[in-house]
Amino acid sequence: MVKIGVIGSCAVDLVVTSDKRPGAGETVLGESFRTVPGGKGANQAVAAARLGAEVTMIGRVGEDNFGEVILNNFKSNGVSISHVEPVADIESGTAHIVLAEGDNSIVVVKGANDLVTPEYIKQKLNVIQDMDIILIQQEIPEETVVLVSQICAQAGISLLLNPAPAREVDPSVIENAAYLTPNEHEAALLFGGLSPAQALRQYPNKLFITEGAQGVRYYDGRREVLVPAFKVEAVDTTGAGDTFNAAFAVALAEGQPIYESVMFANRAASLSVTKFGAQGGMPTREEVEASLQS
Ligand code: RIB
* Model pLDDT for residues 204-249, shown as the tens digit of each residue: 999 999 998 899 999 999 999 999 999 999 999 999 999 999 999 9
Residue 245 main-chain phi, psi, to 5 deg: -60, -45
Parallel, antiparallel or unpaired: strands 32-38 and 80-87: unpaired
**Of all protein residues, whose CA lies closest to atom 8 belonging to ligand 1?**
39
| Best residue among 14, 43, 103 to mutate for probing ligand 1, ranked by most atoms within 8 Å of CB | 43
**Of all protein residues, whose CA lies closest to atom 7 belonging to ligand 1?**
39
Reading phi first (left if > 0) and then psi (alpha if -120 to 50, else beta), residue 86 is in beta
* Cα 232 to the center of its chain, rounded Å: 21
**Of all protein residues, whose CA lies closest to atom 2 belonging to ligand 1?**
239
Strand partners, 218: 225
Residues in the chain: 294
What is the chain's mean pLDDT, rounded? 97
Query: 10 Å Cβ neighbour count for 182?
Result: 24
Predicted confidence (pLDDT) per residue in 155-196, tens digit:
999 999 999 999 989 999 999 999 999 999 999 999 988 999
Distance in Å, CA 293 to ligand 1 centroid? 30
Domain boundaries, the chain: 3-19+31-121+131-293
Q: What does pTM read for this prediction?
A: 0.97
Handedness of CA 175, 57, 119, 40 (dihedral sign): positive
Q: Which CATH class is domain 3-19+31-121+131-293?
A: alpha beta
| Best residue among 12, 13, 282 to mutate for probing ligand 1, ranked by most atoms within 8 Å of CB | 13
Cα angle: 91, vertex 92, 94; to 5 degrees: 110
pLDDT tens over the chain, length 294 residues: 999 999 999 999 999 999 999 999 999 999 999 999 999 999 999 999 999 999 999 999 999 999 999 999 999 999 999 999 999 999 999 999 999 998 899 999 999 999 999 999 999 999 999 999 999 999 999 999 999 999 999 999 999 999 999 998 999 999 999 999 999 999 999 998 899 999 999 999 999 999 988 999 999 999 999 999 999 999 999 999 999 999 999 999 999 999 999 999 999 999 999 999 999 999 999 999 999 988
State the Cα–Cα distance between residues 80 and 56, nearest whole angstrom: 5
Distance in Å, CA 38 to ligand 1 centroid? 5
Catalytic residue among 13, 132, 236, 242: 242
Tell me if residue 236 is catalytic: no
Q: What does the DSSP 8-state code read for residue 230?
A: P
- Nearest C-alpha neighbor of 38 from the set 47, 29, 27: 47
Residues 6 or more apart from 192 whose CB is under 8 A from it? none
State the Cα–Cα distance between residues 288 and 232, nearest whole angstrom: 14
Burial class (CB in 10 A: 0-12, 13-18, 19+), 231: exposed
